[in-house]
Amino acid sequence: MNEITENKKIVIRNSIWLLFSEGFGKGISFLMTIIVARYLLVDDYGKFTFIFAYVTIFSFVADFGISTWIIREIAKNREIASSYISKLTTLKLLLAILTLIIVVLSAFLITKDMRMVGLIFLAGLQMVINSFSDFIRSCFRAYEKMQFETISRIVQGVLLFLSVGAAILLKMPIFYLILGYSISSLVSLIFNFILFHYNFVAIKLKLDKAFIKKTMVVVWPFAFSILLTQIYYQVDTVQVNLITNDYQTGIYSAAYAIIFALLSITMVAYNSSFPTFSRIYIQSKEKFYNSIHRASFFTIIFSFLICLAFFLASPLIINLIYGQDYLGSVAILRVLTISIFFLLVNTLYSQAILIMNHQREYFNTVFIGVLLNFLLNFLTIYYFQALGAALTTLLTSIIITIMFITKFKTLRKKDLETI
C-alpha cells in the first residue's frame, strides 16, 4: 500500500512539473512570437516564420523518434541508461550533420538568394541544437525527474528572451534575431548537458554500428509520426510563402500562432486525461465508452463556446496582439477558429482509438488528412492566397473528424462484441 501511495505521489508531482514546464515553454514561445511580429514589418515577419517553419519540417531527421523511444527504454531498465544515452548521442550527432546537409541542399532548390540560404542554415543549426536539448529532456522524463526539465525550459526561455530582446533593442535585422535564437539554444544545451552529467550519468560518444542499425529499425515508426506532425503543422506556412509572398505568409503566421497557442492550452487537458481513460479501458470497456460519450458532449459544448468567442472577437484579438498592420489576419483567424472546433472534437476520438490499441487506423487517418491538406493547398492558396490555406485546414479538419468518429464507432462495436 505504501508503494502504491508513493507511486501516486510521484505521478502527481511529475504531472505538476510537466504541466508547468509545458505551460512556461509554450508561453514564452508565444510571447516571443508577439514581440518579433510587432518589431518586424509584416513582410519580414512572413520571411522569418517561413524560415523556421521550413527547417522544422526536417526536425524528424534530427530526432528520428529517438527522444520518444529512449523514455520507454530507460524507464524499463535504468541500468542500460549510461550505455544507451552515449550511443544515442553519437547517433544524434550523425543525424544532426545529415539534417544540416539536407536543409542546405534543399534550400538551394527553393531560392537562389545566398543570404536566404544562410538564414535557413542558421535556423537549421538552431533546430538541431534544440533536438539535442529535447533528447536530454526526454532522459529527465525517463528518470521521472520532471523538475529538471522544468528548470531546463525556464533557463532556455530566459536566455531566448534576453538574446532576442537585445537584438530588438539594438534594432538589428532578421539575421541577428535568428542568431539570438541559436545562441540561446546553444547555451541552453550546454546547461542541460552539465545538469544531466552531474545528476544522472556521464554522456560519452560511443560509435556502435550494430546498435545504430538495430535502433533505426525500431524507431522509424516514431520518426514517421513526427514527420506527419511537422508536415501537418508547418507545411501551410511553407506553401503560402512559396506560392504567394512574404506578406501573405506574415498575416497567415500571425493568425496561426494564436490558434496554435489555443490548441496547446487545450491539449494539456487531453494529455492529462489520457492516462485516466487508459486505466478505465483496462478496468471496464463499457465504462470507458460511456466516459468517452460524456466527454464528447462536454468537449463539443466547451469547444463551441471558446471558438464562438474567438470568432466574434477576432478583430479585437488581432489588433490587441499584433496591431493594425496585421488586420489582414482577421478573416484567416476566423476560418482557423472554426477548424479548431473540429480538431478539438476529433482529438478526443483519435486518442480513444489509440487507447484501444488501433494505432494503424490512427496513422492511416492522419496520413490521409496530411496528404489531402498538402495537395489541396496548391489549389486554394493559388486562388485565395493565405486565406486558401485556412480554408484547406478547415476542410481537412472536417473530413478527419468524420473519419475518426466513424472509425471509433466501428471499432467500439467490434470491441463490445468480444466482451
Q: In the chain, pLDDT over 70 holds for what percent of residues?
A: 91
Q: Which of 42-51, 244-253, 349-358, 389-398 shows the lowest per-residue confidence on average (mean pLDDT)?
A: 349-358
Residue 1 is predicted with a pLDDT of 46
Highest mean pLDDT among 212-221, 274-283, 393-402: 393-402
Pair (6, 105) in one structural domain: yes
pLDDT band at 98 (very low <50, low <70, confident <90, very high): very high
The pLDDT of residue 347 = 85
**Cell numbers that stand for 88 in this block:** 544515442
Q: What is the pLDDT of residues 146-161, one digit of tens each?
A: 788 888 888 888 999 9
Q: 46 and 182 share a domain?
A: yes
| Residue 246 lies inside a defined structural domain of this protein | no
Q: Does the residue 163 lie in any domain?
A: yes
Residue 241 maps to a domain? no
Cα(146)–Cα(176) distance, integer angstroms: 32
* Residue 2 confidence (pLDDT): 53
Q: Are residues 231 and 316 in the same domain?
A: no
Structurally, how many domains does the chain consist of? 2
- Domain assignment present for residue 331? The answer is yes
Q: Please give the C-alpha separations between residue 205 and each of 166, 196, 202, in angstroms, as whole numbers.
A: 35, 15, 10
In this structure, the answer to whether residues 17 and 165 fall within a common structural domain is yes
DSSP 251-305: HHHHHHHHHHHHHHHHHHHHHHHHHHHHHHHHH-HHHHHHHHHHHHHHHHHHHHH
Of 181, 211, 235, the domain-final residue:
235
Helix axes 246-283, 209-243, angle to 10 degrees: 130
Does residue 223 sit in the same domain as residue 287? no
Q: What pLDDT was estimated at residue 199? A: 82
My answer on whether 362 and 399 are in the same domain is yes
Single-letter code of the amino acid located at 184: S
Tell me what the pLDDT averaged over the chain comes to: 86
If asked whether residues 319 and 198 sit together in one domain, one would say: no
Clarify whether residues 29 and 98 are in a common domain.
yes
Q: Is 46 among the domain residues?
A: yes
Q: Which of 235, 261, 278 is the last residue of a domain?
A: 235
Cα 211 to Cα 174: distance, rounded to the nearest angstrom:
41
Extract the C-alpha cell encoding 60.
Answer: 524528424
What is the grid cell recorded at 76?
A: 524499463
pLDDT at residue 287 in the model: 86
* CB contact at 8 A, 237 and 55: no
Q: What's the maximum distance between 2 C-alpha atoms anywhere in the chain?
A: 67
pLDDT at 3: 47
Measured distance CA(393)–CA(343) in Å, rounded: 10
296 and 210 housed in the same domain: no
- 8 Å CB contact between 257 and 33: yes
Regarding whether 327 and 228 lie in a shared domain, the answer is no
Q: Which domain holds residue 147?
A: 2-235
d(CA 62, CA 135): 10
What pLDDT, in 10s, does the model give residues 161-185?
999 999 999 999 999 999 999 999 9
Same domain, 230 and 255: no
Question: With left for phi above 0 and alpha for psi between -120 and 50, is residue 323 left, alpha or beta?
Answer: left
b/e code 73-98 from CB counts within 10 Å (16+ = b): bbeeeeeebbebbbbbbbbbeebbee
CA distance 194 to 202: 9
**Choice among 230-244, 305-319, 344-358 with the minimum mean pLDDT:** 344-358
pTM of the entire predicted model = 0.84
Q: 3-state SS of the chain: helix, strand, coil percent to 5? A: 90, 0, 10
Q: Is the pLDDT of residue 105 over 90?
A: yes
| Spatial CB neighbours of 256, under 8 Å, sequence gap ≥ 6 | 236, 237, 332, 336
Cα 66 to its chain centre, rounded Å, is: 15
Q: Which of 211, 235, 259 is the last residue of a domain?
A: 235
Asked whether residue 240 is domain-assigned, the answer is: no
Q: Are 152 and 257 within one domain?
A: no
- 339 pLDDT above the threshold of 90: yes
Q: What is the pLDDT of residues 60-95, one digit of tens each?
A: 888 888 887 777 677 666 777 778 888 888 999 999
